[in-house]
Amino acid sequence: MSETPSPLFVINIRQTGFRLGVNVADADDLLDLARVRLQNHDGFALATVNLDHLEKLRHPGPFTDAYAAQDFVVADGNPIVWLSRLAGRPVSLVPGSDMVLPMAAVAVETDTPVALLGSTQEALAASAEALKAHAPGLNIVGTFAPPFPFDPGSAMADDLLDEVAATGARLVYLALGAPKQEILAARGRARAPQLGFVSIGAGLDFLAGTQTRAPKWVRKLAMEWVWRMLTNPRRLAKRYALSAVILPGLAIDALRQRWGKS
């Protein structure tokens, strides 16, 4: 089994004592690591950490255990990048949605069958067509839309993972949102260790056109969170407020890391 990279930047979750390590510096490194794993028929789990995840990790439970089981962790959110710079251990922004197409290209290169899991069957069908158009030769062997509500820690989840493995897939896009996708990925690493699990949130819905992503110029200004909140304030306003509350403490911890005090 391949070794997991060492942390480049560590985030201390003081409420639980959990130390989350961002261990992949940028998109190129991530694709290289995934390529080697897929060529070796060795599985992995990829998580893309953002402030919302950090807020959820303040509360003990399955999400913390799931993050501890991830092989690769990248910075999905400018606040994580800024914190890494404060700590003197900079990493680059690697949004999960931006990795959907490059990871598909790696799947073609390594002759890796792919499965899509999450969202709705309509969105999965549309995103499958979009993926094939952008990555000619991509072999999508299954699409799975779990019923709502879906418990990633249930026997149903085990049955679903077995169904995915039975298709011959070796790379699985998980579009369930946090914390479900990370919990399912961790469960999958134990149950089907030959599979690579990539947690991508709304990445497939963006491809399918069932959700609209912020324009590139908004993302370049690091304001995608504003765009998302304005398009869905009822669901996201509280989430972003809770995330903002924890940011000052995280900044202090990052500075302490820079000064060698943590």
155-202 pLDDT tens trace: 999 999 999 999 999 999 999 999 999 999 999 999 999 999 999 998
Residues of the chain with pLDDT under 70: 1, 214, 217-218, 221-223, 225-233, 236-237, 240, 261-262
- Asked if 209 and 125 touch (Cβ cutoff 8 Å), the reply is no
- Asked if 50 and 76 touch (Cβ cutoff 8 Å), the reply is yes
Strand partners, 45: 197
Amino acid at residue number 249 = G
Mean pLDDT of the chain: 91
Quick count: other Cβ atoms within 10 Å of Cβ 35?
17
- Asked if 26 and 73 touch (Cβ cutoff 8 Å), the reply is no
Residue written as token pair 């819905």 = 205
- Asked if 247 and 51 touch (Cβ cutoff 8 Å), the reply is yes
Spans of all domains in the chain:
9-258
Question: What is residue 236's predicted lDDT score, i.e. its pLDDT?
Answer: 63
* C-alpha separations of 225 from 12, 234, 254 in Å: 23, 14, 22
Q: Dump strand ranges (E) for the chain.
A: 9-13, 18-22, 44-49, 72-75, 114-118, 140-144, 171-175, 196-199
DSSP state at residue 52? H
Residue written as token pair 């947690």 = 199
Please provide the distance, in angstroms rounded to a whole number, between the alpha carbons at the two ends of the chain. 31
Question: What is residue 57's predicted lDDT score, i.e. its pLDDT?
Answer: 94
